[in-house]
Structures are given as structure tokens and as C-alpha cells.
Amino acid sequence: MNIFTKAVHAGDRKKPGPQIPATTPIVSATTFFYETTEQLDRVFGNEEPGFAYSRYDNPTNNALEELATALENGYGALACSSGMLAIQTAIHTALLDRPKRIVAASALYGATLNMLTKFFEPFGVETRFVDICDLDAVRVAVDQHKPGCVLMETVSNPLLRVGQIDRVAEIARAANAALIVDNTFATPLLVRPLELGAHLVVHSATKYLAGHGDVLGGIIVCDESHHGTLRTLSRTIGPVMGPFEAYLTMRGIKTFPLRMERQCGNARRIASWLATHPEVERVHYTGDPNHPDAATVARLFPVELLGAMISFELKDAGRDQVFAFMDALKMILRATSLGDVHTMVLYPAMSSHRDIAPKQRERMGIGDNLIRLSIGIEAAADIIADLERGLAAARLRARP
Ligand SMILES: *Cc1c(COP(=O)(O)O)cnc(C)c1O
């Protein structure tokens, strides 16, 4: 079935009684009751399908998990209360019976980087960072460090580099390491990492999947070999999403392919407009034929769906010009998230990469003139008009 169809139907219409709700309701009950203790005993013992306690299974969450599994073509899923908790739970699942070492992409979401260095490392799980786009470097790192898992993002933030998931999966598999892919930026409409050999896929559902800026959530979708461990770990630790959030996420997902398709279309127009603008030094966009990973994008992404994130560098600009640009925007939201229906702008040097020393930021390619856009579903002409307003304001601000 096509992903547009799955998004609308998968997970819905489970039979709770003679009448079946057309869409999945919110089941807020924490416990479930049976006519006989015999039956409850069978449910507890996993001999009969059913619900016992909502930390184990909840009908609303299970419906979302079935939907997410269908979208990513996985074996099973777990809905978590945030994207970060999904990443942590995926790592614990992957490392349970493997060496407690990680090889991770050096370009990672800021909180993920902090999780690895400030929390996993003090607990004895050491991470070796590597340029995930350099397969030789990945091979060497896996060979030397002998990790239990490899962690990467489909599209990196904010420079939008794209690693070869299938090739990294081969390297990881040959070393008996699990590959975990954070697919938040690409979404399953563009790339389905499990089909490319990854073992676990994680999402911040807060972003494109829920898509409306009103729910914090995470989702893990995994292959058959990790499903038992994932569910047992979840039963014990309890990283689960609340049923209200599961409902909102499911509702959001019904229109996610539609939104994403339009966001990708808008991004394509806006990226090419920005590329010719005299105030713009450089545009980073996965649909750019001169993108450093253009060959990987051409191999792994659908022809017309090339991503909806754009980063660009203001010409001869520093913090003052970037602030003038951002303050002049009337419609685009100066906000920290991405993937929502509304267009958002973020200044990495001020937010996601604030704690990194300016010199190191510069080395990473994240200058003080770099701005990140998450393109929404508005009319492209209105987004462009707002950007033009911002760029005009930046031009008028005195240069550094
Ligand atoms: C936002 C984000 C996360 C964290 O998700 P939360 O839902 O905010 O916990 C992880 N990875 C990526 C790529 C993200 O964009």
C-alpha cells in the first residue's frame, strides 16, 4: 500500500465492542479489567492478546505504533514521550547484549550530542565521533572502536549533509553493530532506513509527523530482532507516550505525506530563489545539484521529494545583520522547532550550537551568518515576500 494510504488508514478501527470507532479514540485508562481472573492471567502471561496496564500497552498508543510501523516498513514500534527519550531507549535496546561502545556521526542534533558525551560517557559508554559521509573513516572507526551501535541522522543539522545509510548499514552489520538512524528531518516519505539495512529508526514525532507544533513525542520503529528487547525494556523503564499525545500524533500523521509533499515543493522554489538573491552568499539544500552529497540524495531520495529544510549564509554578515533579518520577519516564526505547518527560522549560533566555541563552530562550517529555515505549507510567494523583507532589513544594517 502507498504511504499516502497507510498514513490515513493504518492503526485505526480496532474492535473494542459491537460498534467500531472510525478513528482511534483516546483511551486514558491505566488499567484494564476482565470478566474472569483466568483471562487476566492469560493476558499477563502474553498467552492472549489484551491490555493489562498502560505502561505495557495502551490501545491508543498501540494504534499509533502500528501506524508508525507501517510508514517505516518495520516490524514493530514504541511511542515515547519525546524524541530524546526515543533515542536513549533505542541506544539501550541496541547495546543491551552488545559492547557498550558507540560510533556516532559528528554532526548530530545538539541534545543527542550532549546525551552521548554528558550522560552515556560517564556511565561508561564511550562514543567515537566520525564524519558519517566519509565511508573510509566510518570503516576505520568501526574497526578500531568495535562499537555495539552506530548512530547517524538521515539529514544532518544545520548543514543538511546526507550519509549513505545502506553503506553504513553494511559496515555496521559486518561488525555485528546495530545501526540506529534518526529519520526526523527526512521522514519516511523520503527515506525508510529499515529498508536500507538499519536496525532501529527514531523520530522526534514533535516535528514533521505530528506537524502542528502542539505535541512533544518520539517514536522508535525497529526490525524483528530488536522488538522483544525494545518492548521488554519499555515495560520496565516506562518511557511511554501519553495516550492524548498518541492521539494528536496519529491525527497529525493522516496529513503528514500531504504536508511534507507541499513543504518539499515550497522548499525547492524558495531555495532556488535564495540562491540567486544578492544578499545571500550560499544556500545549503538537499535538492541542490551542487550539494556535496547530491549523488547520495539522487540514489536514496524520491525524484521530487528532496527535503523541506534550508540553511543559508547571509553575505558579509554577522550577528547584527542576522538579528535585523530575523526581527524584520512578519509571518515566519522565530522558533526553535522544525517540521510544523508554519515556516520557522532559527539562528544556530544563538540556539542549537550556542555552547560550541565560535572557532570550532566556524570549523564545522556553522558561521555567524548561517540561518536555518524550516519551510511550512503556506503559499511559497508569501514566504518569499517575508524573506525579502528580512533580507532588505539585513542589507540596511551596518556591516561588521
Ligand atoms: C527535535 C529533534 C530531536 C529531539 O526531539 P524532541 O521531541 O525535542 O525530544 C532529536 N533529533 C532531531 C533530529 C530533532 O530534530
Helix axes 380-396, 256-275, angle to 10 degrees: 40
Helix axes 165-174, 135-145, angle to 10 degrees: 20
Distance CA 345, CA 218 (A): 22
**In contact, 252 and 64? CB cutoff 8 Å:** no
Helix axes 224-237, 83-95, angle to 10 degrees: 120
Distance CA 45, CA 39 (A): 10
Which pLDDT does position 400 carry in this prediction? 61
Which pLDDT does position 364 carry in this prediction? 86
Residue 322 corresponds to which cell in the numbers above?
A: 542576522
How many Å from the N-terminal Cα to the C-terminal Cα in the chain? Answer: 55
Where are the domains positioned within the chain? 3-253, 256-398
- 234-250 pLDDT, tens digit per residue, is 999 999 999 999 999 99
- In the numeric block, the cell 558561521 is attached to 367
315 is catalytic: no
**In contact, 370 and 158? CB cutoff 8 Å:** yes
**In contact, 179 and 197? CB cutoff 8 Å:** yes
Q: What is the mean pLDDT of the chain?
A: 95
- 196-214 pLDDT, tens digit per residue, is 999 999 999 999 999 999 9
Q: Give alpha helix (H) positions in 151-206.
A: 165-174, 187-190
- DSSP 3-state helix, strand, coil percentages of the chain (rounded to 5)? 40, 15, 45
pTM equals: 0.96
How far is the centre of ligand 1, averaged over its atoms, from the C-alpha of 86 (Å)? 9
Which pLDDT does position 347 carry in this prediction? 95
Q: Which amino acid is at 197?
A: G
182 is catalytic: yes
- 319-348 pLDDT, tens digit per residue, is 999 999 999 999 999 998 999 999 999 999
Q: Which of 109, 208, 247, 347 is catalytic?
A: 109
- In the numeric block, the cell 520503529 is attached to 221
- CA 111 from centre of chain: 13
From 3.40.640.10, 3.40.190.10, 1.10.10.10, 1.20.1260.10, which CATH number describes the 3-253 domain?
3.40.640.10
319 is catalytic: no
Q: Does pLDDT of 14 surpass 90? A: no
- Ligand 1 pocket (Cβ < 6 Å) reads 82-84, 109, 111-112, 153, 157, 182, 184-185, 204, 206-207, 216, 218
Q: Which CATH architecture has domain 256-398?
A: Alpha-Beta Complex (3.90)
CA-closest candidate to residue 232, choices 383, 84, 96: 96
Which pLDDT does position 45 carry in this prediction? 86
Which pLDDT does position 353 carry in this prediction? 84
Sheet of strand 149-153: strand arrangement: 76-80, 218-222, 200-204, 178-182, 149-153, 101-105, 126-130
Q: Which of 102-106, 110-114, 127-131 has the lowest mean pLDDT?
A: 110-114
Q: State yes or no: cis peptide before 158, omega within 30 of 0.
A: yes
Average pLDDT over residues 277-291: 97
Helix (H) or strand (E) segment spanning residue 150? strand 149-153
CB atoms within 10 A of CB 115: 18
How far is the centre of ligand 1, averaged over its atoms, from the C-alpha of 65 (Å)? 18
